[in-house]
Amino acid sequence: MAAPATHEYFMARAIQLAERGIYSTHPNPRVGCVLVKKDRIIAQGWHKKAGAAHAEIDALNALATGDGARGATAYITLEPCNHFGQTPPCCEQLIAAGVTRVVAAMKDPNPLVSGTGFKRLADAGVEVVSGVLEQEARTLNPGFIKRMESGLPYVRSKLAMSVDGRTAMASGESQWITGPAARKDVQRYRARSSAIITGSGTVLHDNPSLNVRDESLVADSPIGAPPAPVLRVILASKFDIDPQSRMFSLPGDIIIAGTRDNENRRRLDAAGASTLIAGQPGQAVDLLALLKRLADRGCNEVLVEAGATLSGAFLQAGLVDELVIYMAPKLLGHTARPLFKLPGIEKMADRVNLSITGTRVVGEDLRINAIVCSP
C-alpha cells in the first residue's frame, strides 16, 4: 500500500503551480494553491497575473460544485490575504467555502497581511499550519519578499565573459562573446524581471533593445501570452542619450535617471521617455535612491545589464543580491575590458567573496549563479 501523501507532497505541487506565474504576476507574488480531501487533490489554482484571481480563488473556481471545498485542506505557498486590494480578501472566501484547514508555506511579508490572514482564519475556527517547504516557497518570490521587507528590489547583475574574465575588446567590441543558447537563456531572466537597468555607455556602444524577444516564452506561458514589456532604465547623469536609439522604437516604458536638469532631459521627455533626478548635479546617479524609486513603482526583481563601471558600482555599493555570469570558452587577452571595475581593491583582504549557488552548461557556455557574501 502506498504511503499517505504528506503536507510536503501537496505543497510541492502548489509550488509547481506558483512557478507558472514567473513571468506574469509582478508586482504581485507568485502563488499556488491545492485543495485536498481525503488525500486527494480536488482542485488547484495559481495566480496568473496582477488583477486576476488569487491562487486560492482560482482553485475554488475550479471546483465542480459550490460546496466541494467544505471540509477540505488548502495548501497555499503564501499566507492568504486579509485585505481588499484589486481583489477581495482570500481569507473570507476560504472561510465561506468551508475549508477547515489551511497549510501555508510562509507568512506574507506584506505589512498589510503579515500574520493577519492566519489570525482571521484561526478566529473563524480554521486550523492553520505554517512553514511547510518555506525555503522552497521563498525562492519563488525573492523580489517581492525583499521589497516588502526592505523597500528595495532584488538585484541580479548579468554579465558575459571569456574564460580570462574579459567582457569586451579594448575597442568596446563585444558581440558576441557567448553563443545563441546563452543569449536565449538571458531572455528568461529578462522576462521574470520588472526592470532592466543599463548605463549610457552600453546604449552608446551596443544600441541594445533590452526587451524580451524569445518567442518560445509565448509557447511556454500558461496564460498564452508573451511576458509584458519590461521597464527599461538607463542611467545617464547628463541625460545624454540619443532619442533615436533602438529601444525608443520598441514597446514598453523607458526611464532615464540623471542628475542634471537640462535641455537633454526635456528632449528625452518629448521623445516619450520618463526622466527623473536621482542624485546631486555633477555626481553619478544615486543607485540606492534609484532602486528605492523602482521599488515604489512595484519593481520586485531588477536585472542589471551594464558594463564594468556601472556593474562594479552596484557591486561596491552592496546593492547586488545575485550574479548571473555566462562564461564562454574563449580568451580575449589582457588588454580586453574586465568584468568589473572595482577601485580600492589592492590586497586580498579587500576582495569580494562570492558563494556559488549553481552552475549549468548552456549550449557551449557555462552559467554561474552566485550570491555576494556579507563582509
Q: Would strands 322-328 and 32-37 be described as parallel, antiparallel, or unpaired?
A: unpaired
Place of cell 533590452: 210
C-alpha atoms less than 13 angstroms from C-alpha of 339 in its C-beta half-sphere: 16
Closest listed residue to residue 314, CA positions, set 372, 358, 268: 372
Which grid coordinates belong to 46?
495559481
Closest listed residue to residue 103, CA positions, set 7, 6, 19, 4: 7
The dihedrals phi and psi of 96, each to the nearest 5 degrees, come to: -65, -30
Helix (H) or strand (E) holding 11: helix 7-18
179 DSSP assignment: -
Is residue 220 within 8 A of residue 187, CB to CB? The reply is: no
Closest listed residue to residue 140, CA positions, set 118, 112, 108: 108
Q: Kindly report whether the peptide bond that precedes residue 176 is cis, defined as omega within 30 degrees of 0.
A: yes
Residues taking part in catalysis: 56
